[in-house]
Amino acid sequence: MSFDLVLFGGTGDLTWRKLMPALFQAFRHGSLPKDGRILGVGRDPLDNAQYRALIQSRFDKVELAKRPSTDEFERFAALLHYLPMDLSRPADYARLAETLNARQAKTVVMYLATAPALFTGICENMAAVGLNGPQTRVVLEKPLGHDLASNRAINEAVLRVLPENQIFRIDHYLGKPSVQNLFALRFGNSLFEPLWRRETIANIQITIAEELGVEKRGAFYDNTGALRDMVQNHALQLLCAIGMEPPINAHADAIRDEKLKVLRSLKTWTPETLKQHVVRGQYASGSINGEAVPGYLQESGVNPDSHTETFVALRTEIANWRWAGVPFYIRTGKRLADRDAHIEVNFRPTPHAIFKTPLGPGNRLVINLQPKDGLELHLLAQGQDNRLGARAASQTLAPVQLDLDFDKRFGAERVGAYERLLLDVIDGRLNLFVRSDEQEEAWRWVEPILDAWKNDSNGPRPYAAGTWGPSASSGMIARDNYCWSEEC
């Protein structure tokens, strides 16, 4: 299948860190359609050879397993082309149209790896030169706006030139193999779905933790914060995957209809719940892996008086028959104690105890997202501790664990998130992409938190880098007599 993939921001950070390595892996795996061209677009006055040399030099900075050999890159580089463009000049879009029309590829993918402020102008200029035909697909990177109004404005502008089924709003967490296996676990097996409800589940925790600080993105992050950067998109999409009802089939709209119902069922915020169930923090100086690191306010590009949050923890509920009364806890932050993203489903204890059981969490399912990738099922089983005596041992249970490591099980067959999503765009599969009404509903739910913070002169709670965030996060979950996994 012939395709042209146009990368707006073709020399930018996202392109060389994520998109090019993903495209190379698809090329290495033989899954990238044969008759393809990758066209980088940017301000830099480069020719094709210079662009290929630039991309080759960038591969030295990606992890070793994803670097091409000299021979591999030479073959991959044949796909790479470059077109200098000023995205504010309509005349340059005419040159882009001429370049694309000369080839007449069956599919044209426009990947907008630029600042969201440019999305509207790019799409309008594309349409002005006829690059919005039925063969065109546009990929929009997050963050799509900074609040409900700006998100709606971008969506309306893009929908004026392209129909919904040609717009791919990307959230790379939906491409992670563990998230795909969450759907398979729930809707491809009969084991867990009968238990996936309020009668058997006590609480659900979503953790997305990073050891890194803002690095070189201080100026960007200071205008974004953890709520916009991680909760409004990644965390809420994970919550939807956990909480949604089984769709009628595996088609994109059937799945997205059910996710939308979850977002519409989230309990609305009140002044009281905003105080009790939302914690925001900002990292101070501390230590990561034995090395001293600066606080957020000392990072380059950050306003020294900034109230931007680098940590959020919150409690919510899905107000429907399946989930009524089950708390969902979300936390995410930078400069935390570990790099760890997982979902923990904690089941209720047995209604009547006939064995002695250890203190701490009981039955739980852990879906690991990163850096580990797989499933853990935690159970209680009869121990064989001879020190207890035969009778005592037969009445005492000990924790055991079933562990499925996807990397060990599937090995070289694994497909990374961006690789999977890029191939889906080329093939026109919308299942793992976000619809406009989903995004707007997520912003509508998040916006009261943003409004409350605007009027809160206290600002975020400080926490030392290398810890698990402000102590108020532990206090929030402890009010329900629960604890985060590392504290139980």
Catalytic residues: 234
Q: Which one-letter amino acid corresponds to residue 107? A: T
CA distances (Å), origin 457, targets 305, 333, 348: 12, 21, 40
Alpha-carbon gap, residue 417 to 423, rounded angstroms: 10
Using DSSP's 3-state secondary structure scheme, residue 269 falls into coil
Q: Please name the residues in contact with 399: beta carbons below 8 A apart, sequence gap of 6 or more.
A: 358, 360, 378, 379, 380, 381
Q: Checking phi first, is residue 315 left (phi over 0); if not, alpha (psi -120 to 50) or beta?
A: beta
Residue 381: in which H helix or E strand, if any? strand 374-382
Alpha-carbon gap, residue 137 to 166, rounded angstroms: 5
**Buried-state track 352-388, b at ≥16 Cβ within 10 A, e below 16:** eeeeeeeeebbbbbbbbbbebbbbbebebeebeeeee
Alpha-carbon gap, residue 276 to 142, rounded angstroms: 29
State the CB neighbour count (10 A cutoff) for residue 43: 12
List % helix, strand, coil for the chain (3-state, nearest 5).
40, 25, 35
Tokens of 129: 């030169």
Cβ(137)–Cβ(166) under 8 Å? yes
Cβ(346)–Cβ(255) under 8 Å? no
Cis preceding linkage at 68, omega within 30: no
Q: What is the DSSP string of 62-125?
A: S-GGGPPPHHHHHHHHTTEEEEE--TT-HHHHHHHHHHHHTT--SEEEEEE-S-GGGHHHHHHH
Cβ(347)–Cβ(222) under 8 Å? no
